[in-house]
Amino acid sequence: MTNPFDILAPYLPDVLEPFILPLLQIGVVFLGLSLIVAYIVYAERKILAHMQVRLGPMRVGPHGLLQPIADGLKLLLKEDIIPRGADSFIFWLAPVISVMAAFTGFALIPFADNFIVTDVNVGLLFVIGISSLGIYGIILGGWSSNSHYPLLGALRSAAQLVSYEVALGFALVSALLLSGTLSMRGIVEAQIAHGVWFAFVQPVAFFILFVAAIAETNRNPFDLPEAESELVAGFHTEYSGFRFSLYFLGEYAAMVLVSSIAVTLFLGGWTRPFQSVSWLDFLKYAPVALFAFCTYWCVAHERKMPRAPEWRWQRLMLLGLGGGAAVLALVFAAVPPVLDAAQGVFWFLVKVCGFLYGFIWFRGTFPRYRFDQLMRLGWHYMIPVAIANTLFCGVGLVLWRSLGWSFAGSLWIGTLLTLLVALLLSGQTEAPEPTVEGQGS
C-alpha cells in the first residue's frame, strides 16, 4: 500500500523531503503514543475497578474521561523536590533515559504495511538493544536518590532484568529462525508467506516472551522493584512532580512497546485474523462496527445522565464524541480506499490492546512473587525451557526443509519435545522454604 505521507511529497522541496516526511511520521507516532499511554492509565483504573465491583474515576468528565488530563496537570504543577545529598544531574537524567529508551524503539515498529517510520535489516536487534537501555534509568534513579529503599529497588530491577533478558532473547531467536531475517517488516511478511502466525507454531516461545515482558516492565506479579509493601515505592520513592510522571510515562510506554514487539513477531503484525479465509472478509468492516458501537454507547449514556444544568457540558461532550465516532464510521463505510488504508493500523492496535488488557488483568489477579521465587522461576525454568525450545525449533526446521514435512507439523514436534523438557523440570524437587532460627527443625 502507498504511504499516506507520500501525498505531501510533491509539495516539498527535494532537499527537504527525506527529512520532513520522517519527522511527520515520528510526530504522529509520538503524539499518538502519548495519548494512548495517558488513557492506558485511565483504562487500567476503570478495568480494575470493574473487576472489584467499583466504578473507578467518575468525577472529571463523563465517566471520568478527562481524568488523564487532570492527572497530568496535577503532576506538572506539583512541587519538584531533589533530596539533600542526591546527585542532582543524574537524578534529573535518569527518568529521561527511561522515557527515551521506551519511545525510541517505536521507530522500528511496523504499524502497518503503509505506515513504517523506518525499516532496517537489523530492526529486531536495534529494538531489543534500545529497549534494554531503560534499565539504566531505573538503576541511576535509585542510586542517585541517596536513599536506601530506592537503591534496593534499583538492584532488584537489575537482578530481575538479568534473569529474564536471557529467556526473552531465546524466545526472539525462535521468531528469527522461522523468518530468516532481523527486519521487523520481514518477520511480518514471513508470517504472511507461511500463512500462519508464529504464535501457533511456537506457542512456548510466545508464552516465554509474554512472561519475560511482564517481568522486564516491572508489572505485577513481578513488580518487585516497586513493591510498595516492602520498599515504600521502590526506585522512584524520592521522585515527585514532573520527574515522577516521566517514570510513569516510561513504564506504560514500555508496556506498549513490548506488546508491539510480541504482536509483530508472533501475531502477524498488521494482518487481520484469518486473512486467507475468503468467507471472513467481512472482518474488514470491523472499524465501521467499532465506531458505530462507540456512537451508540455515547448516545445511550447521554440519555441516562441527569438533566440538571451542571451536567450539561458532560452531556455535550458525550454527544460530541458520539458524533465524531459516527463521522468516522460513515467515512470508512462510504470511502473504501480509506477503509483499506486503515486496516493495518486498526488490527495492529486491536492486538496490542489485547496484550495491554492482559497486563491489567494480571495486576488484578495474581499476588506478588517473592524475590527468591522470581529468581528461581527465571533461572531454573524459563531459561532452560527457552534454550530447549530454540534447539527443538531448529530440529523442526530441519525436518521441514530437508525431509519435506509440513511447516506446522514439524514445528509442533519440536514444541512437544519442549513441553516434555518443561514437564521434567517441573518434577524437580522444590527448594526448601527458609526457616527462622528457633522455628522448625
Say if 399 falls within a structural domain: yes
Query: Is the Cβ–Cβ distance between 113 and 119 less than 8 Å?
Result: no
**Tens-place pLDDT, residues 91-127:** 888 888 888 888 888 888 888 887 777 788 888 888 8
Residue 40 inside a domain? The answer is no
Taking the mean position of all CA atoms in its chain, how far away is CA 245? 18
One domain for residues 186 and 310: no
Q: Is residue 54 part of a domain?
A: no
The per-residue pLDDT for 424 is: 84
Report how far apart, in Å, the C-alpha atoms of 269 and of each of 222, 295, 358, 362 are.
Answer: 27, 28, 18, 23
* 19-62 per-position pLDDT tens digit: 666 677 777 777 888 888 888 889 998 999 988 888 888 888 88
Of 312, 334, 356, which residue is a domain's last? Answer: 334
Beta bridge partners of 110: 116
DSSP state of 115: E
pTM: 0.87
Q: How confident is the model at residue 161 (pLDDT cuts 50, 70, 90)?
A: confident
Supply the range of the domain harboring residue 355: 74-271+348-425
Do 250 and 286 have their domain in common? no
Same domain for 219 and 196, yes or no, is: yes
Q: Are residues 287 and 224 in the same domain?
A: no
CA 162 – CA 255 distance, rounded (Å): 18
In this structure, are 265 and 326 located in the same domain? no
Statement to judge: residues 299 and 355 lie in one domain: no
Number of domains in the chain: 2
CA nearest 246: which of 20, 76, 439? 76
Asked if residue 238 and residue 176 are part of one domain, the reply reads yes
* Position 162 in a domain: yes
In a 3-state reduction of DSSP, which class is residue 196?
coil
Residue 426 to residues 308, 422, 429, Cα–Cα distance (Å) = 62, 6, 8
CA 28 to chain centre: 18
Task: Tell me the three cell numbers of residue 111.
Answer: 504499524
pLDDT of residue 351: 93
Please check whether residues 298 and 379 belong to one and the same domain.
no
Which residues 6+ apart lie within 8 Å of 63 measured at CB?
A: 46, 57, 301
**Which pLDDT belongs to residue 262?**
92
- The verdict on residue 314 lying in a domain is yes
pLDDT digits (tens, 9 = 90+) for 293-323: 999 998 888 888 888 887 888 888 888 999 9
Asked if residue 220 and residue 172 are part of one domain, the reply reads yes
The pLDDT of residue 121 is 84
Judge whether 436 lies within some domain: no
Mean pLDDT of 140-168: 81
The answer to whether residues 96 and 147 belong to one domain is yes
Instruction: Dump pLDDT digits (tens) for 320-364.
Output: 999 999 999 999 888 888 888 888 889 999 999 999 998 899 888
> Are 148 and 237 contained in the same domain?
yes
d(CA 438, CA 441): 8
Task: Say what the pLDDT of residue 342 is.
Answer: 86
Please check the confidence at residue 441 and state whether its pLDDT lies above 50.
no
Residues 192, 300, single domain; the answer is no
Let me know if residue 126 belongs to a domain.
yes
24 in any annotated domain: no
